[in-house]
A and B are shown apart, each in its own frame.
Chain A
């Protein structure tokens, strides 16, 4: 027996909430993969704690999406019963953990965006989203501080740590353009003051990233070409593998509880 995927009526607001929820869930899940494997006890706790914050944010956003959609879906169904093409997260967050440097750089590139993004979203005209933003903002600020400090330590550390950090930045850079992208569905919400235009945060993000990379003696890549597709369900091959693990229990034993 196996559970079939749900269908979702993606109104602009439902899609908006699912996109942010998927970012948080997938990145949170990636961080949870480090549990018991981090290079030191302190980081094992740090990565798991950040993952916990993100999964908490995802739960709030999924619950709100379910309420707005008004169908039979809920947070668990969104997480466990959508197939890879129904996921709306950024390509950046689904990239594999790789080594510690890659995980930290991925976290830094995301948090440098999420921190000002959620702060701006506290002014959303949608009360629920504004309240979710007010919690996420504080958590993102802490994640940004933690990952920034590590980027500096790795970049300005040994030859080996520098090389690994620079490789991570070079490899992940092409996935950062999607942070600032919005489509027709978003534009209506931006016009109504429900969402902020992520493009307006690009200069601030670049400033944060450049300043930390500079301190870390790392270079921002010059490549202008950016990969996108996650927001519309066109993912890298990695997400399917992640979901097969995340969803296996609910797919094999539909409705299982403990």
Chain B
């Protein structure tokens, strides 16, 4: 619990730690830090400002994430805060932490290919199956169950899997 007398440094720390526990409602193994959605926490005159960035323009999870952050801050006793959305620099899958990539894989979702960017968007992609590790895979659908995923299939172990789109 943060008291009103906490120093800006402690307040920022507490706010960051609280916000950092929020998970993506659609991929609950990832926190918003793993995803790179939590950008910054600042304190000005005792007021906490939390900056988040959307993965996709229309991502419906953003409202939920903002609400979860509010609840997490309130649980910490932080009342004076604002959550703002920043668009620039635009989120990219390169911001996803290594820990986040490993968690995704363990969860059965193939993580985005590092440093892919625009080249991967048009060129050939080699996505490894999160189940057996084979790269003998093929795309089933460019779009999946959420904005950020595509549907793939492994031709070695025959398992279909989600691929976190490179963006």
Contacts and interface: CB of A to CB of B under 8 A. Distances in A.
Contacts of B92: 138
B114 to A, nearest CB: 16
B57 A57 contact: yes
B142 to A, nearest CB: 5
B118 A141 contact: yes
Interface residues of B, number: 26
A45 B145 contact: yes
A42 B143 contact: yes
A141 B122 CA distance: 9
Given A42-B141, A46-B141, A141-B118, A134 B88 contact: yes
B57 A56 contact: yes
B151 interface: yes
A138 B90 contact: yes
Contacts of A56: 54, 56-59
A contacts with B: majority SS:
helix
B144 interface: yes
Contact of A127 (B54, B88, B151): B88
Interface string B86-108: 11111110000000000000000
Given A56-B57, A135-B57, A141-B121, A49 B87 contact: no
Contact of B56 (A28, A127, A139, A146): A139
B90 A134 contact: yes
B60 A52 contact: yes
Which of B54, B57, B59, B151 neighbours the largest number of chain A CB atoms within 10 Å of its CB? Answer: B57
Interface string B122-133: 100000000000
Interface in A75-133: 127-128, 130-132
B140 interface: yes
Contact of B143 (A45, A130, A137, A149): A45
A134 B117 CA distance: 13
A176 interface: no
Which of B59, B60, B143 neighbours the largest number of chain A CB atoms within 10 Å of its CB? Answer: B143
A192 B5 CA distance: 49
B88 A142 contact: no
Contacts of B57: 53-54, 56-57, 59-60, 135-136, 139
Interface in A133-191: 134-139, 141-142, 145-146, 149
B42 interface: no
A84 B141 CA distance: 36
Contacts of A145: 121-122, 142
Nearest to B53: A135
A27 interface: no
B47 interface: no
A96 to B, nearest CB: 22
B87 A134 contact: yes
B88 A49 contact: no
A145 B166 CA distance: 14
Contact of B58 (A45, A54, A142): A54
Interface string A63-74: 000000000000
8 contacts: A41-B141, A42-B143, A46-B143, A131-B87, A135-B54, A138-B92, A138-B167, A141-B118
Given A41-B141, A51-B58, A141-B118, 10 more contacts: A46-B142, A53-B57, A54-B57, A56-B56, A132-B87, A135-B57, A136-B57, A137-B90, A141-B121, A142-B165
Interface of B: 54, 56-60, 86-92, 118, 121-122, 140-145, 147, 151, 165, 167
Closest 5 CB pairs of A and B: A56-B58, A56-B57, A131-B88, A42-B141, A52-B58
